[in-house]
Structure formats: structure tokens, C-alpha cells
Structure 1
Amino acid sequence: MSGTIDFNQLVVFIRVIQAGSLSEAARHLKMPKSTVSRKIADLEERVGERLIQRTTRKLSLTEAGRVLFERVAPAMSDIEEAESAVAGMRGAPRGVLRVAAPMSSSTLGPVVAEYLVRHPDVAVEMVCSDRLVDLVGERFDVAIRAGALVDSTLVARNLGKAKSMLVVAPEYSKRHGVPKTPAELANHACVAFGGGVEPHVWTMESKGKRVEVRIKPRLTVNDMEIARVSALAGVGIACLPELFCADDVRNNRLLHLLVDWSFAEIPVHALYPTRRHLSPKVVAFVDLLAERIQLHDS
């Protein structure tokens, strides 16, 4: 390595990896593609290692490039957060808020809409996916995740626990009756959330008693809204999060079954890369989320 690494070269390097191409990075950085290419070449010459393998179709990191990216990307994120925090001290939330959420996130729609109305200087990019995104590498400001958290350096704010309930359409109950015990679920058409070929087992508890019921799904789907719509249509008995179906139950579009039995509650968290210099746009979004998404206390 000769001399000190140029900070601007590092910025270009990080943006190229995050964007996936020289041309997309050039567009984001508002500079000619030739300039981007030259800065990458200058950085490689300075460190004495090839950092990016270039083909006509894609870019890929070399081992040296991967090491540099993993060390530099978090620091770059800290710098951007510091800039946002300083700017935020002078006014309301602003900029682009990138949010990662699960596939079945229709209940977040009203929260996002209210957030945008409250903060006209903010734009939201919301990506719904069931994969575990890399918040730092993919430049997400906040992620919403349900379930137990893996060990991580991410900061987690507990939003509460999601409770599920058994529901069925009145039309289905008229045609097929309803189960009086968990064991009778095995004799009914069910709507199951998930995927794969393994048999579905619903685990329920009541007054210290725990039972497992193997169901035979009429429909298996990994989208909660499709499961809800199917339950409303009378396809079968569904296990749905209370957030998704409470209004349907209140308005008798769905009937709550086996009310003395419950499913394990699922913790829900908002995650962000660091609590240092947390930008106003993130604070405002997470605060509104905690206020509007009515989950059970932890």
C-alpha cells in the first residue's frame, strides 16, 4: 500500500458495491462513469490489490475487496448518520427512509401513510421480503422483524408481541360446524401460513395444558393477507395474527374459535444499525410504529 487512502475513492468503492454496477453508482453519485471507473482503479493501485472482478454482466468482490468493504461500510454508515443527525438538529425529519419489512405487512400501510402525511420532507422506500436483509450493506435505515432475534450488533427496539387466533367465516361454520376442542381441528379444512411439504402442526395452550394438532391444510400460503382473504371466503379455519383479523372479528365477518386456547406469542422488533446519531426520520417512524401497531406488552 502506498500513501493514505483517498476518502473519495472509498466512497465511490462502497457505492459501486451497493449499487451493483459502475453505471448505477455513477448515477447515484452524479458523476461520469469514466470517473467512477478511474477512482476504483486508483484505489486498487493504492492498496496494491484488485478489489473488484469486472465482467460484461456483473461485478464481484475479490477477497481483498470483501475485507475492505466489510471494514469500511459500517464506518461510512456512521458518517452518514452523523451528517443526518447534525442536519436534523436544525429541522424536521427529511430525506429518504429505507424500511425492510416482512412479506405480510399490509397492517403497516396506514402507519406509513400517516408518517408521510406528518413529514412531507421524507420519502419512504419500503422493501417487503422474508429474507434477512443486510441493513448496513443494503443501506436500510430500519427493519421490522417478527420472531426471535439472532445474535447481532444491530440495535433492537421491542415493539411488543403478536398474538394469533383461530378464526373462521360464518358461512363455513354453517356448512361444516366448528371444532369444540383442538383435536377436532384435524377433521376440518384449514388455511395454513408457511410453505414446504412437511405436515403442519398447530401448538396450542390452555391453563397450563399444551396440545399439538396435526392439520390437513386446504390452502398453504406464505402471504398473510391471502390467508385472511381465503378465511373470509370460507375456505377453512385459519390461524391469523390478531392485527390482521381483529376488525373482521369485531364486525362478525370472522368468528373467533376456541377462545380458551392460545398460540405462542411472537416478539416483534424494530432494528437499526446503531443508536448513535439516530436520525430524526428514523426516530419519528419507529415512535409512530410503536404508537399505532397495537401489540401485547412484552
Structure 2
Amino acid sequence: MNGTIDLNQIVVFVRVIQAGSLSEAARRLNLPKSTVSRKISDLEERIGERLIQRTTRKLSLTEAGRVLFERVSPAMGDIEEAESAVAGMRGTPRGLLRVAAPMSFSPLRPIIAEYLVRHPDVAVELVCTDRLVDLVDERFDVAIRAGALVDSTLVARKLGTAQFMLVATPEYCERHGVPKTPAELANHACITLGGKSTSLVWPLESGSKRTEVRIAPRLTVNDIEMVRVAALSGVGVAWLPKALCADDLDRKRLLHLLVDWSWGDIPVYALYPTRRHLSPKVVAFIDLLAERIRLHDA
């Protein structure tokens, strides 16, 4: 056998045998009959064997042609089934969806559950990490990131903003007082997220006013749910996302402190590698994210 494999020649060969004639194969393939005949001749030339005996009335396979047809026709069926399955994925979400999200992104929990219930043909692999994953190299379909984005070729869809509130329990406030100004936070037990030196300084803003307060953390932890639990236990004051503590505020388990001050709204994005040919599983997930995160006022 000389040269590289030309799959087009193989496809034409199989279609000719299945159709029973060059003319019918050409019609089914929407090709000129001369092109079909040339493909068969080129295949025979490359293999070095005659594959089809041509007469004015019919085609018949040579021994070499029969061996080739028996070997490649099942593979053609598998390819057609695979193509049909992939085409079907354009309509209905299905397959494995790989998602990367920050460890502290609590609004995602009910969204993932709702997505799986809505789309029973999809499986989700959720990786919670504060590391900046490489979507392409690590084969993630979607990544959720909060804060300013670095320059990237990724497509970013803004989902909303995360609003943080300063909170503490009524019991803590009774024992230690309610801070009236940002500066007074330096005298309170604080619960802070993260372990970097930047977590020792809390930036606050109120309209056009900006200030920073150096705090003395009573607890430093990289799990936002642990921050909430510690705040509910009366350990100290903490910044929590509104989406995470709204129910605690409604039930008076937590009090909103320094209501005129905030930590600033943090933008939240869904990132994905490309806009082109997005699969239904990705489109459905991003649409649900946008819908539900706005609903939860994340």
C-alpha cells in the first residue's frame, strides 16, 4: 500500500457497494459520477489491488474488495452512530460537565442540584478550588471566578455582584458593644477569610468615602461557611455575602453592622473557552447560573 489513507476514498467505496452502482452512489453522495469513479480508481491504485469488477450491467467485488468491505463497513456504521450522537447533543444537554468554582462560592450548591434535576442526561464534576485553573489544558467547560479578571482569551459572562455585609450576633454585640465607625473594628474580635497578610486589613467604602482598618483576627479560615458558623456562634464580627447570611439576618440570628459601609461589590463571572459551538449542557448551565445568582442577589 502506497501513500496515506484517504478516508474519502473508503467512504465512496463503501457507498458504491451499498448502492449497487456508481450512478446511485453518486446520487446519494451528491457527487458527479466521474468523481465517484475516480475515487474508486485512486483507492485501487493506492492499495495495488482491483476491488470492483465493472460491467455494463452490474458491479461485483473481487476477493480483495470483499475483504476490504467486510472490514470497513462496520466501522462506517460506528462512525455514523457517533456522528448522530454528537449531533443529538446539540439539542439536549447530555454528557459530562466539568465546572471549577471558588471554595467559598456557596450559592452554587443549590444551583448544581437544580441543574442535575433539570437535565438527567448530564453528569457534573465540580472542582472547588481557589487556584486559577487552566480551562483548556485541564478540560473544564466552565469556571466561576469572583473579582477582577486577568487578561485572557476566555469568554466572560458577568453573572452579578457579590454584596458583603458586616455582621455579628446580638449576644456578641451585648457583650462587646456595636461598632459605630469603621475605626472601632480594630478593637473587636474579627473573623477573616483567607490566610494572607491582606486579610489583616479590611477595606471599607461608603459612597465616595474609602478607608482601611487594620484588624486583629480572632479566627482566620479559608472556608466561608466556617466564617458564618463562627459568626453565628458569637466568636466575633465578620464580612459575609448577603446571599449566605440573608436568612440569618431575617431571623435576627445576626445583626447587620455599619449599614452605611460595605466591602464593595465583587463581580462574579462565568468563564468558558469559546463562544463558538457551545454545547447545550454548557449553555443550559450558564443560563441557569445567570438566572439563579441574580435571584439570590449574590
What is the TM-score of this pair, normalised by structure 2?
Answer: 0.69
The structure with the larger Rg is 2
SS at match of 2:96: strand
Separation in 1 of the partners of 2:5 and 2:183? 67
Report matched runs for 1:139-178 at 5 Å: 139-178=139-178
Separation in 1 of the partners of 2:227 and 2:133? 25
Q: How many angstroms does 1:264 deviate by?
A: 1.7
| Corresponding residue of 2:89 | 88
Report matched runs for 1:81-230 at 5 Å: 86-89=87-90, 91-197=91-197, 200-230=200-230
Q: How many angstroms does 1:169 deviate by?
A: 1.1
SS at match of 1:149: coil
Quick check: 1:159–1:269 contact (8 Å CA) kept in 2?
yes
Quick check: 1:159–1:295 contact (8 Å CA) kept in 2?
no
SS at match of 2:218: strand
Alpha carbons of 1:208 and 1:120: their partners in 2 closer, same or farther (altered >3 Å)? same
Separation in 2 of the partners of 1:175 and 1:119? 50
SS at match of 1:245: helix
| Corresponding residue of 2:254 | 254
Quick check: 2:160–2:293 contact (8 Å CA) kept in 1?
no
Give identity over the alignment, percent.
73
Matched, 1:245 2:245: yes
Structure 1 gaps of 5+ residues are 7-81
SS at match of 2:136: coil
Separation in 1 of the partners of 2:167 and 2:94? 41
Quick check: 1:243–1:294 contact (8 Å CA) kept in 2?
no
| Corresponding residue of 1:77 | none
Q: How many angstroms does 1:178 deviate by?
A: 1.1
2:164 is matched by which residue type in structure 1? S
Q: Count the aligned residue pairs.
A: 221
Q: How many angstroms does 1:206 deviate by?
A: 1.9
Quick check: 1:228–1:240 contact (8 Å CA) kept in 2?
yes
Separation in 1 of the partners of 2:177 and 2:162? 28
Quick check: 1:165–1:239 contact (8 Å CA) kept in 2?
yes
SS at match of 1:294: helix
2:234 is matched by which residue type in structure 1? G
Alpha carbons of 1:251 and 1:85: their partners in 2 closer, same or farther (altered >3 Å)? farther
Q: How many angstroms does 1:86 deviate by?
A: 3.0
